Copies of this chain bind each other. A is one copy, B any other.
Amino acid sequence: MTHDASHVVRGGGFQWPAIPLRAYKNDGSPHRDITRRTLLGEGEGEQALDALVRYFEIQAGGYSTLERHQHPHAVVMLRGRGTVILGERVEPVAAFDCVYVGPHCFHQFHANAGEALGFLCVVSRERDRPQLPTDQELERLRAVPAVAQLLRV
């Protein structure tokens, strides 16, 4: 009846010392001042999880990569305030807000309120690779003034 795979990973104050702090991406895509930690799903014994729970943190002035993919995101904002681009819309976000990013929706998180923006993002372990916008897609996004103003590519 002992199940050694179960365990507690200690955290406090948006830090989890036992979990490696990773670069957000290493693919040369446009992003700024953002880090990534996989809180659950990549640790020892956690292979049974179909979902990964990651914590992203964007420092003031930073942003994530504008991208889209088939797999959806389930995002729970944990820290600070900022703004998200969701396709052709722009929405303010703050701690406790939840964001559903549907399939193929371009999205980009911005810590544009003068403070760090931190959030959990749940994804399936098996998922497709993100795609950057084509020139034509960028043109369509830029046709929306609120998006054009915020967009960083």
Binding site for B on A (CB under 8 A): 1-3, 5-16, 39-41, 43, 45-46, 48-51, 53, 71-72, 74-78, 84, 86-89, 91, 93-107, 120, 122, 124, 137, 140-141
A1 touches B137 (CB 8 A): yes
Please measure, in the bound complex, the distance between the C-alpha atom of A41 and the C-alpha atom of B76, giving whole angstroms.
12
B49 touches A50 (CB 8 A): no
Tell me whether A88 and B8 are in contact in the complex, defined as CB-CB below 8 angstroms, given that A96-B14, A100-B40, A100-B49 are known contacts.
no
- Copies of the polypeptide in the assembly: 2
B40 touches A102 (CB 8 A): no
B6 touches A97 (CB 8 A): no
Q: Hey, which chain B residues are within 8 Å of A93, CB to CB? A: 8
- Pick the 6 closest A-B CB pairs, nearest first: A11-B96, A5-B102, A3-B105, A51-B51, A40-B74, A9-B98
A72 touches B97 (CB 8 A): no
